[in-house]
């Protein structure tokens, strides 16, 4: 696997910086090496932003006194700390068909220009709520906006790719999250040796695992 | 000339040769070595040593780059193996890739193979239901194939013999269509499975749900500890290779046992091309082998040969063992070698919901499921198709997670799953009728990398199978409805033969050399020092999983062969 060795090199080159939580995607970042997709570091950063919008971080929120309730999601890590964009890239690069890879890649590239052209505010914004609203609107959009004069690709085509991209990204963000070491040790602990099978147990007081 | 001595014929001569190291070859090896025969075990694949060669066995889910999924490029290149239920990122190293070992599909056949020491015994689903007289009497009663030369009583002591050593978890259910065995404590049925069991037994006669018997050490006995095996830990990661030896495999059980006798020589990477027949002596004298890596040709000799190459490969090997005496393949005087191949029907599936038992759930993982023994046409012919089907049955409490939306609400949903209702699932395991037209043969022009002719597979379903699938849907729909299950969904997977991984026959047993290849001791009628005790020897297929029967045949045949050898009859 070329990518695997490349990944290691990238990690070495980037040093600790690339792995810092809540990093600001500074110039030290090195693109994840891919076999099939061609996505430069800026597009990979954009993907990370989309993933972080889909599953935001709440790290530290529970420490703040302003919090009104104590729902279990409150201090949970999100896509950013778990580097889920890397998992998404690996899966899209290796595990989906060429056509879907193309739609993913097109959609990712058209996301910002499309929102610039057709939305009041383009993606990404500073506020999580604004980003969520933009992506939700995109995902739910039934009709594409009317074409502007010099558009090379029709807005309908663009929207189709963007929606495919968002669908794939959401699927792998969710999968990456639920199959992450964090989720499977701290949230729903996975046991390699689970102990005896219990065929009939009352659910009262039992945590779903 | 240091190699001279090693290469001499004497040094390549053994008391017995076993071709194949899978579930039946392992047994042949163990029995021969225990009886004091210097035995050479030939395996075409690489060596796999228990624990040491299970690279993924202790990996956590998140440690797999693709979280278990096989990359698209590999799937595209290997469509057959990619359809196998057990082929994932954690097990792929134990499966043969289509691209590496081609074969010819006259009709679609999904041939699932494991080329390594231990073969598919590392990968099997570990179900070990005995066959009954209803199975061995089938062909004679219903008038197909040819009568088995044995009955259940011939095999019963050998079932007991192999069960005690392998370690079988099961319940004594007292059913005549599924005889009890030598059991370690059974696994449990869960509350919905027990509910369905009760419904079946009160509403029907002869329809039973039991916990399936499986080759797991639910309570290891002295004989298992002596093998170095331990308790099944219910991990359900069996197909990665079990580091506890919790389930039976050649690697953890029979092969190390054979090795301990000091009588076994194991030679991996040895592709057996043919069995050598000596016309003067009128017997087989050895085997022609190609080293898988160096492609070097080498011969090994023994007065006794056990063929356990797996059902279809045993056919290939015998067909390719041509001589003046046997121009159509070893033992093939009647031209039936490679014919009457049969398999199991796994196409029918049915699922439903149950909204009872909502106060209860299960905890942990169970390496087996419920099992409904065949209930159609058992005591008399009652349908318009021959034979019947057994079925797996399992119930699981569903966990509901809402995947809608994005952002904080999505995350909250993922972190706060809710109890759903139970879902039940069943799949059929049907008996196919061995037919002369279901054949395997050697391709006349194409060979593989090792010079072996490619195997051509020409096997298909027939009308009997289609009727049986419909009957499964009808009967189970009715049974589900009567149990109050809702949202019943039937599905015909449409899968090709082969994916059941229960291919059998081609070298069938029988009473008459005119209509069968092997006698009741799994011995070639026409070449009595060659024994075939893998799936190729099956005369018909029953509905039960066949591996346990292969083990019993292998042990029984060795016992007979060694007695005959001592009487100088071989």
Query: pLDDT, tens digit, for every residue of B23-77?
Result: 999 999 999 999 999 999 999 999 999 999 999 999 999 999 999 999 999 999 9
Whether the CB of B72 is below 8 Å from some CB of chain A: the reply is yes
Coil, strand or helix at B431: strand
pLDDT for A27 equals 52
B255 and B117 in contact (C-beta within 8 Å)?
Answer: yes
Lowest mean pLDDT among A11-20, B152-161, B465-474: A11-20
Task: For B292-320, give the secondary structure using H, E and C.
Answer: CCCCCEEEEECCCEEECCCHHHHHHHHHH
- Cα separation, B14 vs B316, in Å, equals 24
ipTM of the prediction:
0.92
Calculate the alpha carbon distances from B483 to B54, B163, B192, B327 in Å: 43, 35, 10, 59
Q: Which residue in B121, B124, B111, B158 sits closest to B43, CA to CA?
A: B121
pLDDT at A4 over 70: no
Q: Residues B377-386, buried b or exposed e (16+ Cβ, 10 A)?
A: bbeeeeeebb
Whether B71 sits inside 8 A of A78 (CB atoms) is no
User: A153: pLDDT confidence band, cut at 50, 70 and 90?
Assistant: confident
DSSP strand pairing (B283-291 vs B297-301): antiparallel
Calculate the alpha carbon distances from A136 to A109, A142, A173, B40 in Å: 18, 12, 15, 67
pLDDT for A6 equals 52
- Cα separation, B431 vs B547, in Å, equals 15
Length of chain B: 570
Q: Which residue in B242, B354, B417 sits closest to A209, CA to CA?
A: B417
Q: Which residue in A20, A17, A12, A87 sits closest to A48, CA to CA?
A: A87
Q: Which residue has the tokens 């069996």?
A: B238
Whether the CB of B61 is below 8 Å from some CB of chain A: the reply is yes
- Cα separation, B480 vs B462, in Å, equals 27
Whether A72 sits inside 8 A of B415 (CB atoms) is yes
DSSP strand pairing (B305-307 vs B527-532): parallel
| Nearest chain A residue to B187, by CA | A197
Whether B419 sits inside 8 A of A208 (CB atoms) is yes
Residue B19: Cβ within 10 Å count: 28
Whether B65 sits inside 8 A of A90 (CB atoms) is yes
In percent, how much of chain B has pLDDT > 90?
98
Q: What is the pLDDT averaged over residues B256-285?
A: 98
Q: What is the pLDDT averaged over residues B208-236?
A: 98
Q: Which residue in B85, B176, B129, B260 sits closest to B551, CA to CA?
A: B129
- Cα separation, B275 vs B286, in Å, equals 6
pLDDT for A76 equals 85
Q: B49 Cβ partners below 8 Å, 6+ apart?
A: B117, B251
User: A151: pLDDT confidence band, cut at 50, 70 and 90?
Assistant: low
What values do phi and psi take at B71, rounded to 5? Answer: -55, 150
Q: Which residue in B317, B343, B268 sits closest to B53, CA to CA?
A: B268
Q: Which residue in A68, A89, A113 sits closest to A172, CA to CA?
A: A89
Q: B2 Cβ partners below 8 Å, 6+ apart?
A: none
Q: What average pLDDT does the structure give for chain A?
A: 84
Whether A200 sits inside 8 A of B362 (CB atoms) is yes
- Closest in A71, A78, A179 to B67, CB measured: A179
Whether the CB of A70 is below 8 Å from some CB of chain B: the reply is no
Tokens of B202: 């009160």
Q: What average pLDDT does the structure give for chain B?
A: 97
DSSP strand pairing (B104-105 vs B453-458): parallel
What values do phi and psi take at B105, rounded to 5? Answer: -105, 95
pLDDT at B5 over 70: no
- Cα separation, B235 vs B58, in Å, equals 10
User: A21: pLDDT confidence band, cut at 50, 70 and 90?
Assistant: very low
Calculate the alpha carbon distances from B426 to A23, B372, B446 in Å: 50, 9, 41
Coil, strand or helix at A92: helix
pLDDT for A149 equals 65
Q: What is the pLDDT averaged over residues A82-108?
A: 97
- Chain B: give the shortest CA distance to residue A150, in Å: 33
pLDDT at B20 over 70: yes
Phi-psi region of A125 (alpha: psi -120 to 50; beta: other; left: phi over 0): beta
- Cα separation, B256 vs B300, in Å, equals 22
Lowest mean pLDDT among A68-72, B138-142, B192-196, B447-451: A68-72
Q: What is the pLDDT averaged over residues B470-486?
A: 98
- Closest in B67, B190, B360 to A202, CB measured: B360
pLDDT at A156 over 60: yes
Coil, strand or helix at B281: coil
pLDDT at A69 over 80: no
| Nearest chain A residue to B412, by CA | A73
Tokens of B387: 């034979």
pLDDT tens digit sequence for B319-356? 999 999 999 999 999 999 999 999 999 999 999 999 99
- Cα separation, B154 vs B311, in Å, equals 22
Whether the CB of A139 is below 8 Å from some CB of chain B: the reply is yes
Lowest mean pLDDT among A177-186, B2-11, B262-271: B2-11
pLDDT for B513 equals 98
- Cα separation, B123 vs B86, in Å, equals 8
- Cα separation, B538 vs B334, in Å, equals 17
- Expressed in angstroms, the distance from the first to the final Cα of chain B is 36
- Cα separation, B445 vs B251, in Å, equals 36
Q: Which of residues 73-102 of B touch A (CB under 8 A)?
A: 73
B422 and B192 in contact (C-beta within 8 Å)?
Answer: yes
- Chain A: give the shortest CA distance to residue B69, in Å: 7
| Nearest chain B residue to A36, by CA | B73
Q: Which among B185, B407, B417 is the top mutation candidate for probing chain A, defined by the most A β-carbons within 10 Å of its own β-carbon?
A: B407
pLDDT at B568 over 90: no
Q: Per the confidence metrics, is the pTM higher than 0.90?
A: yes
B352 and B488 in contact (C-beta within 8 Å)?
Answer: yes
Which DSSP string do the residues of B115-179 spell out, in sequence order? -BTTGGGGT---B-PPP-HHHHTHHHHHT-S---S--HHHHHHHHHHHHHHH--B-----BTTB-
- Cα separation, B425 vs B140, in Å, equals 34
Tokens of B235: 């991990």
pLDDT for B4 equals 52
Tokens of B270: 């040895």
- Cα separation, A50 vs A84, in Å, equals 10
- Cα separation, A74 vs A169, in Å, equals 23
B60 neighbourhood in chain A, CB within 8 Å: 181, 184, 190, 192
Q: Which residue in B12, B9, B16, B3 sits closest to B306, CA to CA?
A: B16
A199 neighbourhood in chain B, CB within 8 Å: 188-191, 193, 362, 366
DSSP code for B399: E
A118 and A155 in contact (C-beta within 8 Å)?
Answer: yes
Calculate the alpha carbon distances from A165 to A39, A88, A110, A161, B336 in Å: 14, 11, 10, 6, 57
Identify the helix (H) or strand (E) that includes residue B50. none
| Nearest chain A residue to B244, by CA | A193
Q: B346 Cβ partners below 8 Å, 6+ apart?
A: B427, B428, B429, B430, B493, B495, B499, B500
- Closest in B189, B235, B403 to A193, CB measured: B235
């Amino acid at each position: 696997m070329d990518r695997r060795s490349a990944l290691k090199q990238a990690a070495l080159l980037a040093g600790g910086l690339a792995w810092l939580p809540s990093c600001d995607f500074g110039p030290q970042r090195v693109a994840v090496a891919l076999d099939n997709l061609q996505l430069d570091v800026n597009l990979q950063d954009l993907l990370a932003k989309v993933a972080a919008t889909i599953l935001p971080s709440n790290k530290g929120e529970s420490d703040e006194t302003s919090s009104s309730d104590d729902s279990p999601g409150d201090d949970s890590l999100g896509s950013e700390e778990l580097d889920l964009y890397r998992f998404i890239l690996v899966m899209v690069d290796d595990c989906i068909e060429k056509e879907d890879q193309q739609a993913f890649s097109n959609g990712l590239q058209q996301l910002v220009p499309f929102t610039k052209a057709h939305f009041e505010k383009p993606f990404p914004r500073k506020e999580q709520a604004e980003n969520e609203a933009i992506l939700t609107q995109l995902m739910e959009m039934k009709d594409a906006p009317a074409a502007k004069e010099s558009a090379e690709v029709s807005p309908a085509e663009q929207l189709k790719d963007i929606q495919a991209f968002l669908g794939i990204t959401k699927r792998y963000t969710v999968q990456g999250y639920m199959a992450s070491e964090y989720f499977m040790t701290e949230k729903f602990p996975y046991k390699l040796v689970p102990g005896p099978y219990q065929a009939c147990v009352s659910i009262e007081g039992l945590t779903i695992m | 000339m240091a190699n001279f001595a090693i290469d001499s014929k004497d040094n390549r001569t053994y008391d017995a040769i076993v071709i194949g190291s899978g579930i039946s070859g392992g047994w042949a090896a163990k029995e021969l070595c225990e009886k004091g025969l210097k035995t050479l075990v030939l395996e075409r694949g690489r060596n796999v040593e228990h624990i040491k060669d299970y690279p993924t066995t202790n990996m956590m889910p998140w440690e797999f780059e693709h979280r278990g999924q096989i990359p698209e490029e590999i799937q595209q290149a290997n469509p057959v193996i990619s359809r196998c239920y057990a082929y994932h990122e954690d097990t792929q190293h134990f499966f043969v890739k289509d691209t590496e070992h081609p074969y010819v599909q006259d009709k679609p056949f999904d041939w699932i193979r494991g080329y390594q020491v231990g073969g598919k015994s590392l990968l099997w689903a570990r179900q070990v239901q005995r066959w009954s007289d209803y199975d061995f009497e089938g062909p004679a009663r219903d008038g197909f194939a040819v009568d088995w030369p044995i009955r259940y009583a011939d095999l019963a002591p050998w079932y007991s013999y192999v069960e005690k050593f392998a370690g079988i978890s099961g319940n004594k259910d007292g059913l005549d269509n599924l005889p009890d065995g030598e059991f370690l404590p059974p696994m449990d049925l869960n509350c919905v499975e027990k509910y369905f069991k009760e419904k079946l037994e009160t509403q029907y006669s002869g329809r039973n749900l039991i916990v399936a018997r499986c080759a797991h050490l639910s309570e290891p006995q002295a004989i298992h500890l002596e093998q170095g095996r331990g308790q099944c830990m219910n991990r359900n990661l069996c197909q990665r290779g079990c580091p506890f030896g919790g389930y039976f495999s050649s690697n953890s059980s029979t092969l190390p046992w054979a090795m301990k006798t000091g009588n076994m020589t194991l030679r991996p990477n040895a592709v057996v091309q043919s069995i050598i027949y000596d016309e003067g002596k009128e017997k087989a004298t050895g085997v022609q082998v190609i080293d898988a890596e160096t492609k070097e040709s080498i011969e090994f000799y023994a007065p006794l040969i056990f063929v356990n190459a797996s059902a279809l490969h045993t056919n290939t090997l015998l067909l390719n063992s041509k001589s003046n005496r046997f121009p159509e393949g070893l033992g093939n005087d009647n031209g039936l070698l490679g014919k009457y191949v049969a398999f199991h029907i796994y196409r029918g599936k049915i699922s439903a919901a149950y909204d009872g038992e909502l106060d209860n759930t299960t905890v942990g993982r169970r390496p087996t499921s419920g099992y409904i023994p065949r209930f159609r046409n058992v005591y008399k012919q009652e349908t318009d198709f021959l034979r019947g089907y057994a079925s797996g049955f399992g119930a699981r409490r569903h966990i509901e997670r809402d995947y809608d939306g994005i952002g904080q609400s999505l995350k909250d949903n993922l972190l706060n799953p809710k109890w759903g209702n139970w879902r039940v699932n069943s799949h059929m395991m049907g008996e196919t009728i061995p037919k002369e037209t279901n054949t395997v043969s050697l391709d006349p022009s194409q060979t593989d990398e090792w010079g072996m002719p490619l195997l051509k597979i020409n096997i298909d379903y027939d009308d009997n199978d289609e009727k049986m699938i419909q009957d499964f849907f009808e009967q189970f729909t009715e049974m589900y409805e009567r149990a109050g299950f809702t949202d019943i969904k039937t599905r015909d997977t449409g899968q090709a033969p082969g994916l059941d991984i229960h291919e059998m026959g081609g070298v069938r047993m029988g009473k008459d050399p005119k209509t069968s290849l092997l006698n009741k001791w799994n011995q070639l009628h026409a070449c009595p020092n060659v024994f075939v005790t893998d799936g190729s020897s099956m005369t018909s297929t029953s509905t039960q999983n066949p591996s346990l029967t292969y083990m019993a045949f292998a042990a029984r045949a060795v016992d007979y062969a060694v007695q005959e050898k001592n009487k100088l009859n071989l």
